[in-house]
Structure 1
Amino acid sequence: MLTSDDHSFAVLAYGESPYLAECVESLLAQTVRTRVFVSTSTPNEHIRSVARRYGLELRANEAEPGIASDWNFAVSQSQTPLLTLAHQDDTYEPGYAEHMLGGMAAVERPLIFFTNYGELREGRKVDDNRLLRVKRRLLSPIGWSGSADDLRTKRRVLSLGSAICCPSVTLNLPLLPNAPFRADMRSNLDWDAWERFSRLEGSFVYDREVLMHHRIHEGSETSALIRDNTRTEEDLRMLERFWPTPVARAINLVYSRAQASNSKA
């Protein structure tokens, strides 16, 4: 039986995001309250003041900064078996933790839990657009059952793109590698992790309800990676794990055009 004591949110804070407090408030407003701490490699007065305001412990990563380093550090700081890496610009619906605990408890060996999601564009919640519909179709093989434990299904939902929204994911740490994220990718370290996790014994658990919102703005890391072509290059590397190179290149051409919606309403 899983309880609120089994889960933590690690708020990944970087720089001076104006959205950090909004993210924290959404975590503290959960219908089932779990632990929340702030993790950063850029400790500054803005981050410290938000942590103080909400009474949160602040953990500082003193290793060389980088996305994989920051995420793995947050993982290492968790005192609970279940951990959600909450990105500082995003928000969570009040029922996220409650749904997550129920979903994880419903299967024998859950590897990760993740949810449907919407976007935040100019402060407005957008729960339906072309890219979101595509990602939901990609996840449809497990959408109705709510979980997948066979290798074929887990890999099928990853084979045409990164359909799993990273900040919607809760990790079941005892069943995963100690440092789950690898530094050889900047954009697709999450897709890379899910692909490796898909080979492990256990289930991917998916909740079809929109339980978090991912903020889209020009200052986001995702937007920057799209602009400098890193995203497209890494997408091809990932697709080649599932398809022969000519097929992977064709899929990547279509997929890269969809990235334009990251900056368009």
Structure 2
Amino acid sequence: MIQHTFVICAYGDSPFLEACIQSCLEQSSVKSNRSKVVLYTSTPSDQIKILCQRYQIELFVKTGGGIGIDWNNALSVVDTKYATIAHQDDLYLPDYGEAVLSEFESQADTNLVFTDYCENDAQGQFRPRHLNLKIKTFGLKLMSLFQNKGYQRRIYAFGNFICCPAVSYNLDRLSDFQFDTSLKMAVDWDAWERIMKRQGKVKFMPRQLMVHRIHEDSETTVNTENQNRELEESMMYQRYWPKPVVKLLMKAYVKNQKAND
């Protein structure tokens, strides 16, 4: 029985989209008929249509207008209990689907499951686990020590440690959830912070089960260069800290942005 959907969120004509599709179709959970793969886009093109036809995956087209709108639209086409918004540039290791399904099934009140990850570049070469990535993994491990929401939010107040394409959602429990469409870069941090306030668990799996691609045309790079990221993350820090502390945290944050180069 299909319980989980990889909904690939495609924008424009990415040279990495086919590899993402292949990595999703190679999932052990897809081969065992526990997961399926579909594709959502707000920018339909011949390339996207051809790839969907080649790999026989269902294509959904809606009107977009930003990351938050596209992510909301992507989840809206899912008809299974669990979902992963797969980003077109990224790769999922074959056990990702089975691992998150097992974690969801182990505790029925789990809202989110997310894994550790590694990074590669435009040429497919793996990037060293730089200091910023090590700090994020350490933060996630600290968060996972206890399921107390107050404790988790205190750890999360130091930064967004969760990699958005590594996240899977329990849509039965999050049926009324919407991403904030006014944000461009802190969409995910805002989402996880709001979900943490809800009843239910947020679970981290300390296994590197997906590969996040960093390249010059990625949303991460574009928004870092035009300072959207800095402005929005400063706003997020202000939810937790007084302004003098925010200034100190932002100094460290801006320095860590260089890890995206």
**TM-score interval (norm. to shorter):** over 0.9
Query: Is 1:113 the equivalent of 2:110?
Result: no
Confirm or deny: 8 A CA contact 1:117 1:127 kept in the other structure: no
Runs of 4+ in 1 over 4 A off after TM superposition: none
Any unmatched runs of 5+ in structure 1?
none
Query: Is 1:36 the equivalent of 2:37?
Result: yes
Deviation at 1:232, TM superposition (A): 0.6
Confirm or deny: 8 A CA contact 2:116 2:209 kept in the other structure: yes
Structure 1 residue aligned with 2:247? 249
Match of residue 149, structure 2, among 148, 151, 159: 151
Deviation at 1:137, TM superposition (A): 1.3
RMSD: 1.3
Cα distance in 1, alignment partners of residues 243 and 182 from structure 2:
20
Confirm or deny: 8 A CA contact 1:75 1:179 kept in the other structure: no
Q: Percentage identity across aligned positions?
A: 35
Deviates more, 1:33-42 or 1:102-111: 102-111
1:161-200 pair list within 5 angstroms = 161-176=159-174, 178-200=176-198
Cα distance in 1, alignment partners of residues 175 and 244 from structure 2:
32
Letter in 2 for 1:154: Q
Query: Is 1:8 the equivalent of 2:9?
Result: no
What is the SS of the residue equivalent to 1:257? helix
Deviation at 1:111, TM superposition (A): 0.7
Deviates more, 1:232-241 or 1:125-134: 125-134
CA offset digits 1:156-212 (Å, max 9, x no partner): 332111100000000111222534201121001010000000100111111101000
CA offset digits 1:233-253 (Å, max 9, x no partner): 111100111111211121011
Match of residue 20, structure 1, among 10, 17, 36: 17
What is the SS of the residue equivalent to 2:206? strand
Structure 2 residue aligned with 1:124? 125
Confirm or deny: 8 A CA contact 1:40 1:59 kept in the other structure: yes
Cα distance in 1, alignment partners of residues 234 and 39 from structure 2:
33
Cα distance in 2, alignment partners of residues 177 and 57 from structure 1:
22
Confirm or deny: 8 A CA contact 1:154 1:204 kept in the other structure: no
Structure 2 residue aligned with 1:239? 237
Query: Is 1:213 the equivalent of 2:211?
Result: yes
User: Measured at CA, do residues 177 and 249 of structure 1 come closer, stay the same or move farther in structure 2, by a change above 3 Å?
Assistant: farther
Confirm or deny: 8 A CA contact 1:8 1:83 kept in the other structure: yes
Any unmatched runs of 5+ in structure 2?
none
Letter in 2 for 1:45: D
What is the SS of the residue equivalent to 2:126? strand
Equivalent residues, number: 256
Match of residue 158, structure 2, among 142, 152, 160: 160
Confirm or deny: 8 A CA contact 1:149 1:202 kept in the other structure: no
Confirm or deny: 8 A CA contact 2:130 2:259 kept in the other structure: no
Cα distance in 2, alignment partners of residues 166 and 219 from structure 1:
17
Letter in 2 for 1:165: C
Letter in 2 for 1:5: I
User: Measured at CA, do residues 53 and 157 of structure 1 come closer, stay the same or move farther in structure 2, by a change above 3 Å?
Assistant: farther
Cα distance in 2, alignment partners of residues 85 and 48 from structure 1:
19
1:84-99 pair list within 5 angstroms = 84-99=84-99
Cα distance in 2, alignment partners of residues 211 and 84 from structure 1:
13
Structure 2 residue aligned with 1:77? 77
When normalised by structure 2's length, the TM-score is: 0.94
Cα distance in 2, alignment partners of residues 189 and 116 from structure 1:
19
User: Measured at CA, do residues 239 and 97 of structure 1 come closer, stay the same or move farther in structure 2, by a change above 3 Å?
Assistant: same
CA offset digits 1:14-73 (Å, max 9, x no partner): 1000000000100011112111100000000011111111000000012x4211111100
Cα distance in 1, alignment partners of residues 170 and 52 from structure 2:
25
What is the SS of the residue equivalent to 1:141? helix
Letter in 2 for 1:9: F
What is the SS of the residue equivalent to 1:255? helix
Query: Is 1:49 the equivalent of 2:24?
Result: no
